[in-house]
Structure 1
Amino acid sequence: MTNLEVHDTAPLGPVSDLEGDLASLRGDCARMSGHWSPPAPVSSLPVSPSLIHGVTVPPTSARLLDAMSDYGD
């Protein structure tokens, strides 16, 4: 079982420090973008149709999709 007791809290400044405008958010993102690297490109090879055997859908998922008007009607 997880212990959910909180013994100490992190110090918070004024609420205005937590709020910002879109320009400050964009500036923060621009400064951090150099720290992020894009994922390596994934090249997938074609699969022979003889290797495709179909899709198995659990009955509960099929009932869920059947109940959705976009899919079941």
Structure 2
Amino acid sequence: MTNLKIHGDAPLGPEGVAGGLAELRGDCARMAPHWSAPARIAALPVSPSLIHGVTVPPASARLLDGMSDYGD
């Protein structure tokens, strides 16, 4: 359960707490330059001859075997 404590005269209503969506979007736009996304590293293709299979621990195999298939 959320414990909302209001200090001062912040309005609660359809616009939310003190400002609304337009102010929130403006705040986000001003903060966006402060966080930069890392450069995306493209994965190189792997030759099928280098893929030799996957080893799954027995406990994980039992867990997956006990799960229903997607769409059941």
Normalization by structure 1: what TM-score? 0.56
More helix by share: 1
The 1:28–1:70 alpha-carbon spacing in structure 2 relative to 1, beyond 3 Å, is: farther
Poorly superposed stretches of 4+, deviation over 6 Å: none
Cα distance in 2 between the residues matched to 1:52 and 1:59: 21
Superposed displacement of residue 46, structure 1: 1.4
Cα distance in 1 between the residues matched to 2:66 and 2:24: 41
Superposed displacement of residue 40, structure 1: 0.6
- Aligned CA RMSD, in angstroms, stands at 2.9
Q: Which runs of 5+ in 2 are unaligned?
A: 8-15
Query: % of aligned pairs identical?
Result: 67
Superposed displacement of residue 22, structure 1: 6.4
Cα distance in 1 between the residues matched to 2:24 and 2:69: 37
Match of residue 31 from structure 2: 32
The 1:49–1:34 alpha-carbon spacing in structure 2 relative to 1, beyond 3 Å, is: same
Normalization by structure 2: what TM-score? 0.57
Give the number of aligned pairs: 58
Between stretches 41-50 and 26-35, larger displacement belongs to: 26-35
